[in-house]
Structure 1
């Protein structure tokens, strides 16, 4: 497994890669890095695939654009298409987790010629809402439910990253703990915040590392986020309404490539994205599977690497290029 710097048209991308064969691109989410995919890189390489996981725009060792508006879904999909070309390939299978799932779904939606099959972990495909931008709709849903504010809308604030940057170690420990399947159900984060509360303040100070997270692995995350900060990752959220304005041309378009969706039984994301999970068959016209992993939370590929590896290899054997 090697760390490489890949120079593309728009930025220098840092990738973790191993293996030879058909390309499988692995896209991480928030607050993660390419190292989130180590178990999958190893399994895919051993099975005869070329597995590549980048540090995404604004994260880790990747070059960090200064402007918020340089983190739109068009930039993120463009980065992945450009990476495929820079790796000397014309097509690949794309796999995403969390925010990386949203990028992976849109890779298959926008460039089906490049991304010939797609798997999403933990976050279902969410089609463009014809009635208007998403942030106001999220606020309205929370207000009607009387549940406070959804963290996604709180992330729209220009200073929302400040509590994370002030203490990356605490922020990361709390995030990994609050969305993990092994955490007691009444301590997992629902995604909703009380008025004036930051996401970090809304998680217990008693949070510990989840069972699958070693101290050394956690230290890698802390070091990376101390160096790079959280502003860039939160800029992805701040572009949600801009993304809506840029994607009218995708309205009502389906994903027709072979697809797979996986989610943990106890994933807190289901509190606020579950309705989309139930409608996946309406939008994924060649869905080869929808898998619920028993006992798992949000960090699916790290919590249950064996189950994820088995599912991905079966999906590739069924829908992807031969290893």
Structure 2
């Protein structure tokens, strides 16, 4: 294992300290916690998200005006505890309630729900949106149903814009539950990721091998095979997405190509280029695009392709300016 760290037991604590030290105009740390909150003042419904660390810049990189109010950083690939999530809710409450944005993993769902109950005992109104955009597999390690992956970032952006505009907790929750149905993702891996305290990759692939459908914690996908050209990878994933969306020529979508941590931007742009051309051949109108590392898996080599069905309001909210580290 080669990593630029000190003690593997302290990686999250030291990462959070470095993050808030590097970007004090954006974020601050709640003392005695691994909670990162907005460092500016605001008066709106609070948006709280989070999960296991190792997916940076998710989620702390999206804390700030126009997106999240707080991110709770669990240990690597491990759900944050209910008390930490509760601290995030309390630290960001402005008397207008809190919306929790949760990726669909069993530990996250359980712990965020427990924190919701604790916050309601403090008379804080709390609701939640569960993100399950990964269509690769129906049930996988750590999940009942589909996993929440890179599409979560688009949920942060759209609901963050709505919260800034003054929408209520119930309005955000209702809109978010419909929004999630129109966001779908498939990922691929070329290599595994190494959790620092484990010291070896969660899975291994041969030099000439890839896997379709791997999750952001290294959960199994749906097929391993010899590595394909970018065009063929894009073609397979677009086929999966088309079957889910059942789109028609002229429909409007957004396209988001996300890196898993170790894949150069050169390769992500090549994958985007091939994907965009395939979607043009389908007759779709792609009105929003984004490429980069937003929901990673430590040093995993690979990428994911996310599509979102768009209307004028969703497109407007995706294009609203924000003040965050990573968007």
TM class by shorter chain equals 0.3 to 0.5
TM-score relative to the length of structure 2: 0.35
Considering Cα pairs closer than 8 Å and 6+ residues apart, tell me whether 1 or 2 has the greater RCO.
1
Higher strand share: 2
TM-score by length of 1: 0.35
